[in-house]
Chains A and B, each alone.
Chain A
Amino acid sequence: DTEVTQTPKHLVMGMTNKKSLKCEQHMGHRAMYWYKQKAKKPPELMFVYSYEKLSINESVPSRFSPECPNSSLLNLHLHALQPEDSALYLCASSQEGDRGTEAFFGQGTRLTVV
Chain B
Amino acid sequence: RKEVEQDPGPFNVPEGATVAFNCTYSNSASQSFFWYRQDCRKEPKLLMSVYSSGNEDGRFTAQLNRASQYISLLIRDSKLSDSATYLCVVTIRFSSNTGKLIFGQGTTLQVKP
Contacts and interface: CB of A to CB of B under 8 A. Distances in A.
Contacts, number: 65
Nearest to B44: A105
A10 B31 CA distance: 34
Interface residues of B, number: 26
B45 A105 contact: yes
B21 interface: no
Interface stretch (A11-19, A47-55, A68-76, A78-86): A47-55
Contact of A43 (B31, B91, B103): B103
A31 B98 contact: yes
Interface of A: 2, 30-31, 33, 41-45, 48, 50-51, 55-56, 88, 90, 92, 94, 96, 98-108, 110
Of all A-B residue pairs in the complex, the 3 with the closest CB atoms, nearest first, are A100-B91, A100-B32, A42-B103
